[in-house]
């Protein structure tokens, strides 16, 4: 087993309440504790967690972390549909071309 800084940088597994909260959603400033509270309240899908605490409601970058917390709670995550939907909604639409200057 490795010791020192490299060992402490590894994922430690499920967190406990004694540890400092971890920011999961940067857009809406939502911690892992808020996401876990939403899961404890009965949320089993990312959309439900978003409705309860706001995590995953903006850019979608935190959706994989939310899904990992769902899996830590023993909830099976099917496919990452939320992120796929957001990517479809945010497809780049090119700006109209400017008329040439006369």
CATH number at residue 61: 1.10.10.1100
pLDDT of residue 86: 59
Q: Mean pLDDT per 10-residue run, the chain (102 residues)? A: 45 65 93 96 93 91 91 83 57 56 63
Say if 6 falls within a structural domain.
no
3-state secondary structure of 32: helix
Say if 85 falls within a structural domain.
yes
Say if 15 falls within a structural domain.
no
Q: Return the beta strands (E) in 1-102 as ranges.
A: 23-25, 30-31
Say if 9 falls within a structural domain.
no
User: What is the number of structural domains in the chain?
Assistant: 1
pLDDT of residue 1: 42
pLDDT of residue 59: 86
Q: Are 33 and 26 in contact (CB under 8 A)?
A: no
Say if 78 falls within a structural domain.
yes
Say if 8 falls within a structural domain.
no
How far is residue 32's CA from residue 19's CA, in Å, rounded to a whole number?
Answer: 11
Domain that holds residue 79: 21-89
Say if 32 falls within a structural domain.
yes
Say if 101 falls within a structural domain.
no
Sign of the alpha-carbon dihedral angle for 7, 10, 15, 17: positive
Predicted structure pTM score:
0.64
pLDDT of residue 78: 75
60-69 pLDDT, tens digit each: 889 889 999 9
Cβ-based burial of 41 (10 A; exposed 0-12, middle 13-18, buried ≥19): exposed
């Amino acid at each position: 087993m490795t010791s020192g800084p490299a060992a402490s940088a590894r994922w430690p597994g499920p967190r406990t309440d004694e540890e400092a909260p971890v920011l999961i959603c940067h857009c809406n400033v939502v911690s892992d504790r808020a996401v876990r509270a939403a899961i404890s309240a009965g949320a089993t899908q990312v959309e439900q967690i978003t409705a309860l605490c706001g995590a995953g409601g903006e850019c979608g970058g935190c959706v994989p972390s939310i899904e990992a917390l769902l899996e830590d709670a023993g909830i099976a995550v099917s496919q990452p549909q939320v992120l796929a939907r957001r990517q479809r909604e945010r497809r780049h639409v090119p700006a109209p071309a400017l008329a040439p200057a006369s």
